Amino acid sequence: MSSVNHTGRAVQAEQLSRRFGDFTAVDGLSLTVEQGEIFGFLGANGAGKTTAIRMFCGLLAPSAGEAWVDGLSIRTQSEEIKRRIGYMSQRFGLYDDLSVRENLEFYGGIYGLGQAEIHSRGEALLARLDLAEWGTRRTGSLPLGYKQRLALGVAILHRPRILFLDEPTGGVDPVARRAFWDLIYEVAADGTTVFVTTHYMDEAEYCGRVSIMTAGRIAALDRPAVLKAQWGAKDMQAVFLRVVSA
């Protein structure tokens, strides 16, 4: 039993680990994310970020340790966790052959929303994401930046309490990345906790707190300004390089 009260926290992990054979992808991860935070989960490719986020989302069982998402155990309540969260994976998970609106309708049904609810929320999201004029277009024909917006729309259609974004801006240009972060701020302003993984160090500046993972472990965790002061660095890119080399 945990010695720390995890009730009311968005995410809490205690000595969470995941092994694949002899390889340890996540090694004794402990952290706490408060409700309403934008929390950055940073690290190079292969640092263990995606493995950790998949455990938090109830998609992968831990090898050791425990974690709670919205107060629910990832070991025993993973199905309930899935109903409360939004998740946007690295790979574009929507259906290319469906239109933008059809994707929203399909996933709205999976989330258990009624037709009237799907329509009203979907149309509001299309306007908010600047996708209204693309509603009848095949999703596969959208530019990557617009696909990412649609994936975000699908992830928040059911109004989750916690939103997990796994490298959501991978492959898009800097202007599109900035625009996507403007949308993340809007989602957070509505009270949603945002847990975002990225290997773009400039995106760390947009987060309230950030952690830096190396080799499956957290090597640093605090507000960006505090980390820059601690490591005597002018930006988070320099912080990251110093943390990793240390």
Q: Is residue 195 part of a domain?
A: yes
Structure tokens at 227: 């980390």
Predicted pLDDT at 193: 97
Q: Is residue 65 part of a domain?
A: yes
Predicted pLDDT at 1: 36
Q: Is residue 79 part of a domain?
A: yes
C-alpha 134/C-alpha 138 separation (Å) is 8
Predicted pLDDT at 178: 87
Q: Is residue 192 part of a domain?
A: yes
Q: Is residue 43 part of a domain?
A: yes
Q: Is residue 31 part of a domain?
A: yes
* Tally of domains within the chain: 1
Q: Is residue 198 part of a domain?
A: yes
Q: Which residues of the chain have pLDDT under 70?
A: 1-7, 92
Predicted pLDDT at 89: 85
Number of other CB atoms surrounding residue 133 within 10 Å? 9
Predicted pLDDT at 223: 97
DSSP string, 38-102: EEEEEE-TTSSHHHHHHHHTTSS--SEEEEEETTEETTT-HHHHHHHEEEE-SS--S-TTSBHHH
**The domain that contains 171 carries what CATH number?**
3.40.50.300
Q: What number of residues does the chain have?
A: 246
Predicted pLDDT at 7: 56
Among 38, 50, 24, 80, CA closest to 197: 50
Q: Is residue 58 part of a domain?
A: yes
In this predicted model, what pLDDT tens digit does every residue of 109-167 receive, in sequence order?
988 899 999 999 999 999 988 899 999 999 999 998 889 899 999 999 999 999 999 98
Question: Which structural domain range is residue 185 located in?
Answer: 9-93+161-245
